[in-house]
Each structure stands twice: as C-alpha cells, then as structure tokens.
Structure 1
C-alpha cells in the first residue's frame, strides 16, 4: 500500500513534521509494510521556510532585525545561490507568536522587521524574493516595510508618523524615496492564500485584528486607517490595489508590498505543491490514500487553504483524501460532498482542549490506525 502524507501544522500543538510522525505511527500499526511518502506543506504562513528547506538546497541566512514592537532579534531567511531565489517568512520577524498576550496590539506593532529581511535578501544578491505572509501580529498595511525602503508617512502638519496601525488614519502625505534601493530586475512575490480585500467587512482589520489583540474600537480605527491608506496611495502614488483579492493578507502587508515595492501575488499552497513535487508524484504513482489535515477545519479551510489545494490535485488523480483535524466546525456531510473520503476529528468532547493538545500525537495516530483497519 502506498500512502502520501501532506498535513499542515496543528497550531499550538504539533508542527507539520510532528503530524506526519503521528500519521506514520498509525499507518505502521495497520500496515507495517506500507510505502509512505511525506511532503512538506505550507500555505505561505507559519512553516513556509520549513516547507521550502525540505525540498530546496538553500542557505539559511541570519539577519539582525526588529520584532513587531521594535526589539532587536535575529531572524532567518533562505537563499538559493544557484537561482538567486530568496524565501522570507513574515512570522519570523513580524509574527504574533513573538509577542506575549499583553504585548499584542496592532495599533502599535509594525512590519519593519519583515522589510529589513527583504532588504538583507536584496543585499545578498537575490533576484526573486518570495515573502510568505501569515501569522503576523501587525495591521500596518505594509507601511513598516515601506519605511525600511525610504518611504515616509506624514500627517497634516507634515510631521513624520511611525508606521504603525494606529497611525494609518492620520496619514496625509506619502513621501516616496528618490532612489528605491531595489534593482529593477529584482522581483518580489507576496505568498499567501487568503482572498480578503484591504478594508471593509471582509478586510484585514475586521476579520483578523481581534485575534491580534485589537479591541472593537481599535478594529474600527484600523479599518478606517486602511481605507485612508488606500486613498492616499491612489491619489499620490497612482496605484489602486486595495480591492484586489488578497490585498488584506497579514494586516494589509500584501497591499503594501504591491503598492510600495511592486510585488505580485501568488498562492502559497500552489507554490509549495509545485516545489515539493506532490502533483507529479500522484500522477506517476498509484496511491491508496492521501492524508492531510490541520488543527481546525472550518468554513475557512477551503477558502484557498492548503487542504483545498491537496483535495483538488488528489481528486484529479482519483486518489482518496482523508483529512485529520483536532476540531471540525464544518458540516461533515458538506465536507464529504466536496470529495473527502473521510474527515477524522480526533478531539474527545468529554475531555478538555488542553488534554487534546497535550495528547495530539497519540490521538492522530489512533485515528489513522482506526480508519485504515476499518477500511481493510
């Protein structure tokens, strides 16, 4: 029996590699001789660098940057000297998980650290820079990144503003750098899998800012600030990108990358599935099952996420897909109608969330073993 594994992380519990370990343990109990192939996975957010390192011979470069509240830290990026490609994971420099609960405040945080990583990659000689978005603790519309490259943001009194989310509503004038320190031949690609516009009911602030520490009043101001930023960019830079699907990714960082640095957008899932050879493998090898999954399956799961990409590619090869999750908040019937062979929820409603997270490895292994034994 041949089985492919391509799960996402179970956030706060297991990395994607650890989920694979648990799945493999369950498979070995049911089919000791199974041929198992693992594939690194990411949608461009947390784990992006890990997914790239698994399939590309790259250098890990450490850079001194600032975190979302201005502390100096060391953050990595990947560089492939053969191709000139560089890979940056925003969460490593501007991530929410870098902040304690009391430090999380998207009114004050910024993306300068991510901009510093991009600049370091340019200085290293990168010709194509992929910036994986996701897991950010920011909502500054990419202004922090822009400030690293010489952009300045002024209020009505021509006073300089710090490039934080809470100042976006005060921006009256954007001063462009005379010479952008990026050679024209350098291409920047924002890697993400969300379709949110910059502002509005489905925008960056209203959908994601609460989980980054914003109060209801903060969310209103952040949303108004992003709208103001879009208007100033359109008026003064001649770029109209706020309504583009994905512009609201990572607190509007995708918007900023496009407007200030000329970035294009690409799907993180599609990029990683191209890099890791998943589609090619399924086309060449008859595979009994593909096991995928994530910590929580809900209405957002099939909105441009990893599991959607896996399901589409596997279904095209008529390969059954089994999804494993800690918690399922979507109707099972609806998920099966989309093409899943099964969706296995591993948490026990009689036990606490803390228990499920602490015993995630055993629960995943048992779920996989049970499914395979039932379907022999």
Structure 2
C-alpha cells in the first residue's frame, strides 16, 4: 500500500474479476477473444487471483468492479488499497447533474452510447444518466449505434426508449465511417417526432 496516498479508481462497469459475469466472458469477446481464448483468460485470471490472495491476503475474484479495465482495477484494489468507485456516479455528483435535473425544469434527457446491450446495465454511463432522470420522472431517450438490450431491460435501467442510428443493415466498418452523419440524421428524425406534440 502507498503510505499517505488514497487511490480512487473510477470504474465504468460493476463486473467482478471472475465468474460468468467476470472480465473474460463478458469483455473478452468484445476484444476478439474466441471461446477457447475466453476459457484460457478465465484460467489465467483465476491463477492471478490465487497468487494475490496467497501473497497479499486479499480476495479479488468476486469483488464488485474488479473486472473493470481487464482486471487492472483488481490489481490496484489488492496491491494499492484503491477504492473502486462507480465512475458515472462520481461524474454525476461532480457536475451537479441531479441538481440540474431537479432545479431547471428539464422535460427530456437524450443520451447516447456506441452499443446499448446487457453491459449497459452493468454500471455504464448512460444507465447512470437514465436512472438519475427517471427517479425524477423525466423521460430518457437513448441514441446508439446498436441496440440489442431488450425493451424490458432498458426500461428497468431508466430508459423510456432507445433508437439505433444505423439506417440499414451494414458492416461495422461502414457504421463507424458514417456514424457522425447517421447520428445527425437520426437526431433530426427524433426532433421532428418530438415536435409533433407542439403542433
């Protein structure tokens, strides 16, 4: 541990290091790991956790947020005594988001994410934004490159609705290339739809 130093790690996910919702099975495939690579990553992370517990005396495998950043947060937690905090909660508090929502008569929140999927519900920024607004009865619309989370999950996380900005079936390469243009187009459609209530 570092004497006289407090380390606070801001994590964008709640996932533990190990297990079905751990770093390897959840984030490995995102980074291109096939099932065999995911299996080997899990074995290696479990071995790492065993060494940490043996040598440092701290269990890291099941601790909330130790799966963030490929397990980097686990090492900082175990070796440097770091606090693992929800990144979105810290940012919301620092910028006074709750206060702004409550005091400025906000009628609607629009947020975005590259992909709204099951990981969104694990502590990602858009979920924190949606939950804070929905607690005050403010509807939340999300725009995303891809929406694969169920409508039920999205509503549980605080979203009123979610729209993909991609206008037609396409490759990831094309979506990344045209994302800015498609976002503007979808925002125009959304704005026109919202304007209907004022006509």
Normalization by structure 1: what TM-score? 0.47
Which residue in the other structure is 1:327 paired with?
A: 146
Shift of 1:339: 4.2
The unaligned stretches of length 5 or more in structure 2 are none
1:302 aligns with 2:108: no
Shift of 1:200: 2.8
Q: Give the one of 252, 257, 262 matched to 2:76.
A: 257
1:196 aligns with 2:18: no
Deviations 1:285-308 (A, max 9, x none): 011221101111112112211111
- When the two chains are superposed, the root-mean-square deviation of aligned CA atoms in Å is 2.3
Between the aligned partners of 1:336 and 1:265, the Cα distance in structure 2 is 27
Alpha-carbon distance change, 253 to 374 in structure 1, aligned in 2, over 3 angstroms: same
SS of the residue corresponding to residue 301 of structure 1 reads helix
Greater Cα shift, 325-334 or 290-299: 325-334
Shift of 1:311: 1.0
Summarize the alignment of residues 279-290 of structure 1 with structure 2, pairs less than 5 Å apart. Answer: 279-290=98-109
Alpha-carbon distance change, 339 to 221 in structure 1, aligned in 2, over 3 angstroms: closer
Which residue in the other structure is 2:185 paired with?
A: 366
Between the aligned partners of 1:339 and 1:215, the Cα distance in structure 2 is 32
SS of the residue corresponding to residue 251 of structure 1 reads helix
Richer in helix (by share): 2
Summarize the alignment of residues 83-102 of structure 1 with structure 2, pairs less than 5 Å apart. Answer: none
1:233 aligns with 2:83: no
Shift of 1:281: 1.1
SS of the residue corresponding to residue 294 of structure 1 reads strand
Q: How many residues align?
A: 195
Alpha-carbon distance change, 186 to 344 in structure 1, aligned in 2, over 3 angstroms: same
Shift of 1:323: 0.5
Richer in strand (by share): 1
Deviations 1:118-146 (A, max 9, x none): xxxxxxxxxxxxxxxxxxxxxxxxxxxxx
Between the aligned partners of 2:141 and 2:38, the Cα distance in structure 1 is 37
SS of the residue corresponding to residue 225 of structure 1 reads helix
Deviations 1:332-352 (A, max 9, x none): 355346543331211022444
Alpha-carbon distance change, 286 to 331 in structure 1, aligned in 2, over 3 angstroms: same
Normalization by structure 2: what TM-score? 0.85
Summarize the alignment of residues 120-131 of structure 1 with structure 2, pairs less than 5 Å apart. Answer: none
